[in-house]
Amino acid sequence: MKKGNTYTGYVEYVDFPNKAYVSAQVEEDGVKSVETAVVKNAIPGQTVSFMVNKKKHGKCEGRLLEVIEQADCESNERCPHFGLCGGCVYQTVSYDNQLKMKEKQVHKLLSSVIEGDFCFEGITGSPVSEEYRNKMEFTFGDEYKDGPLALGLHKRNSMYDIVSVLNCKIVDEDYRKILECVLEYAVQEKLKFHHRVTHEGYLRHLLVRKAVKTGQILVDIITTTEDDRKLNDLSEKLQKLELKGKLVGFLHTFNDSLADAVINQGTEVVYGRDYIEEELLGLTFKITPFSFFQTNSLGAEVLYSKVRDYVGLKKEDLDDNSKPVIFDLYSGTGTIAQILAPVAKKVIGVEIVPEAVEAAKINAKLNGLDNCYFIADDVLKALDNIEEKPDFIVLDPPRDGINPKALDKIIAYGVERMVYISCKPTSLIRDLEILQSRGYMVEKSCCVDMFPNTVHVETVCLLSKKP
Ligand code: SAH
């Protein structure tokens, strides 16, 4: 294959997260051969055309141009934004097949590092595969350079262009109505979006959170301070929307920073209050706009049930003396800590975002739990300052996995068993290699799909000390 040339080929398989291996007939100087290129976002079984845009050490990478023939596993209807929008990749694939694909990808990754036989319990799906998100962060921008104002998600492979996802299928109707209402207001008022390069403009992001169990909705518009308008008129429009859930708060957050991320430099409550409440496994959680909370509530119940199962402690088998001290590292709003509290003498959660830690403390109190403690700090530093020693450790790091120096300190405790929850299996296997070389083995593992239609998947591993 030659850089710049276009080829047609068949997708043999896809590695996590979206690396499709496409084999194509190539003819050069009258000689025919079959060569392979990696093309992102294609689906196993498809015939696609692609352009080779990178060639290094004989390996080719291509950009997907067109799906010429669909794969047999594609039977789902697509939303009008599919393909253009960077959110979903597997939307056309039936949910059963999506699960099979993710299961295979994770099994392959785990098998590449785990020594010996290990018990892989497969994947459990999300109870719902559409309209499942309890949070969405939309971005203001333009659909193309100098095009009309858009509010939605980034286009596939684009840093700048935004697709207005007015028909997005992974959120429910309330999100779609809110999105439309805010976009209409912005167009009417001729408001400008904040440009990532020139750093001019007012509108940045729109954060919507909706609790599945309680129906409570929180809307937060994030702008620069370029315009000093009060958003009471927008607030009234939002309050008049006919929603299935209930709008409990409308917030206005200011962000003048240069980074293209949702950053909180001060928040004003325009209407109502600044949190929603969600229920998971019989516990109530107060969620503020910027604390981490699993984005699929029903999926989170499945994930946390697995975690509880893997931790394997039963209240009836334990008396006060045999209950363990559990560390919940990377604890977010303290959900896992609180789910494990009944089988622990004490749970200590460590989380770097202070707002999430505050929420965790309030939540534990609300749930009547008096044995949960939360520390706002980097895990790497916090472990030096905790006097208590853990009997059991639960790890749920962000995508990059665990900082190697923090992992050293975690291993040094020498606990018998740990549960590692990972939202990125490629980082997980890097950490598993270290854990294995330092005396731990993977006893069992499984996947939970919290993100239907997208490439993401959660993996849970039970680790124990090698005999
Ligand atoms: N266990 C939680 C959150 C998991 S997401 C839940 O199930 O909801 C990972 C969390 O790690 C995020 O809340 C993130 O803010 C936090 N985090 C990221 N880096 C960290 C670090 N170095 N030290 C402590 N927490 C960190």
Pocket of ligand 1 (CB under 6 A): 292-294, 330-332, 335-336, 350-353, 356, 378-379, 396-398
The best mutation among 281, 310, 352, 428 to test binding of ligand 1, ranked by most ligand atoms within 8 Å of the C-beta, falls on 352
pTM beyond 0.85, yes or no: yes
458 CA from centroid of ligand 1 (Å): 14
Q: Ligand 1: distance of its center to the CA of 382 in Å?
A: 13
Residue 338: CB atoms within 10 A of its CB come to 27
Are 105 and 179 in contact, with CB atoms under 8 Å apart? no
Atom of ligand 1 nearest to the CA of 394: 1
Atom of ligand 1 nearest to the CA of 397: 9
Atom of ligand 1 nearest to the CA of 378: 23
Q: What is the pLDDT along the chain (467 residues), one digit of tens a residue?
A: 999 999 999 999 999 999 999 999 999 889 999 999 999 999 999 999 999 999 999 899 999 999 999 999 998 888 999 989 999 999 999 999 999 999 999 999 999 999 888 899 999 999 999 999 999 999 999 989 889 999 999 999 888 899 999 999 999 999 999 999 999 999 999 999 999 889 999 999 999 999 999 999 999 999 999 999 999 999 999 999 999 999 999 999 999 998 877 778 899 999 999 999 999 999 999 999 888 899 999 999 999 999 999 999 988 888 888 999 999 999 999 999 999 999 999 999 999 999 899 999 999 999 999 999 999 999 999 999 999 999 999 999 999 999 999 999 999 999 999 999 999 999 999 999 999 999 999 999 999 999 999 999 999 999 999 98
CA 349 to chain centre: 20
Residue nearest to atom 6 of ligand 1 (CA): 332
Residues tagged active-site:
423
Q: Which residue has its alpha carbon closest to ligand 1 atom 1?
A: 331
Cα of 394 to ligand 1 centre, how many Å? 12
Expressed in angstroms and rounded, the spacing between residue 407 Cα and the centre of ligand 1 is 14
Query: What is the best residue among 296, 331, 384, 409 to mutate for testing ligand 1's pocket, by most ligand atoms within 8 Å of CB?
Result: 331
Cβ atoms of residues 277 and 214 within 8 Å: yes
- Phi, psi angles (nearest 5°) of residue 102: -65, -40
Q: Name the amino acid, one letter, at 156.
A: R
